[in-house]
Amino acid sequence: MGIIEVGRVCIKTAGREAGKKCVVVRVIDKNFVEITGPKKLTGVRRRRVNVKHLLPLPLKIDIPEGAGDDEVLEALKTTELYKKLVKAE
């Protein structure tokens, strides 16, 4: 469904994790998706969020639906973004 799909990298725009990046892991329905930071990397917990609270970025990583945090982390390591995130910390 549209831009927000499994593997899409997003920025959270609401709540305590606002401004942090996350990856969509599973699409629950037209309003909700499950995301993860992963927490080790960006601090975003694995949780269900409203799509309205996400801003999609022009970057998609290759992960299966419902991927675990470790899988997501491995997939992220190949991208430019990962270096930036590590540098930021």
Site for other proteins in 12-41 (CB under 8 A): 13-16, 18-19
Asked if 85 touches other proteins (CB under 8 A), the answer is: no
Among 3, 48, 64, 65, binds other proteins (CB under 8 A): 3
**Phi first, then psi: what are they for 48, rounded to 5°?**
-90, 135
* Interface characters, 38-77, with other proteins (x: CB under 8 A): -----------------xxxxxxx----------------
What is the distance between the alpha carbons of residues 87 and 89, in angstroms, rounded to a whole number? Answer: 5
Q: Judge if the upstream peptide bond of residue 38 is cis by omega within 30 degrees of 0.
A: yes
Determine contact, residues 24/10, Cβ cutoff 8 Å.
yes
For other proteins, the binding residues (CB under 8 A) are 3, 11, 13-16, 18-19, 55-61, 78-81
